[in-house]
Amino acid sequence: MKKLLILYLFIATISHAQENIPFAEEVANIAMKYDTIWDSSKETIVFTGSSSVRLWKSLEESFPEHQIINTGFGGSQTSDLLLHLNSLVLKYKPVKVFIYEGDNDISAKKKLKEIIQTTNAIIQEIRNQNPFTQIILISAKPSISRWRLRGKYKRLNKKFQGLSKEDMYLSYVDVWNPMLDGRKLKKDIFITDGLHMNQKGYDIWYTAMKNLVTDLN
In-domain check, residue 146: yes
In-domain check, residue 205: yes
The CATH number assigned to the domain holding 47 equals: 3.40.50.1110
What pLDDT is stored for residue 166 in this prediction? 83
Are 27 and 84 within 8 A, CB to CB? yes
With b for 16 or more beta-carbon neighbours within 10 A and e for fewer, the 64-92 pattern comes to eebbbbbbbbeebbbbbbebbbebbbbbb
Q: For the chain, what is the domain count?
A: 1
In-domain check, residue 32: no
The DSSP element (H or E) to which 137 belongs, if any, is strand 134-138
Helix, strand or coil for residue 193? coil
Q: Could you give the percent of the chain with pLDDT greater than 70?
A: 90
Q: Enter the pTM of the model.
A: 0.90
What pLDDT is stored for residue 150 in this prediction? 97
Q: How many residues does the chain have?
A: 217
What pLDDT is stored for residue 9 in this prediction? 39
In-domain check, residue 86: yes
In-domain check, residue 6: no
In-domain check, residue 34: no
**56 CB burial (10 A radius; 0-12, 13-18, 19+):** buried
Helix, strand or coil for residue 3? helix
In-domain check, residue 33: no
Residue 161, CB half-sphere, CA atoms under 13 Å: how many? 12
Over 14-65, what HEC string results?
HHHHHHCCCCHHHHHHHHHHHHCCCCCCCCEEEEEECHHHHCCCCHHHHCCC
What pLDDT is stored for residue 216 in this prediction? 58
Q: In sequence order, what are the residues at sequence separation of 6 or more whose Cβ sits closer than 8 angstroms to the Cβ of residue 43?
A: 66, 67, 95, 216
In-domain check, residue 30: no
H helical segments located in the chain: 2-19, 24-35, 51-54, 59-62, 78-83, 85-88, 103-107, 112-129, 150-164, 199-214
> Could you tell me the residue range of the domain that residue 156 belongs to?
43-214
Q: What is the pLDDT along the chain (217 residues), one digit of tens a residue?
A: 444 434 343 444 444 444 588 999 999 999 999 998 999 999 999 999 999 999 999 999 999 999 999 999 999 999 999 999 999 999 999 999 999 999 999 999 999 999 999 999 999 999 999 999 999 999 999 999 999 999 999 999 999 999 999 899 999 999 999 999 999 999 999 999 999 999 999 999 999 999 999 985 5
What pLDDT is stored for residue 20 in this prediction? 81
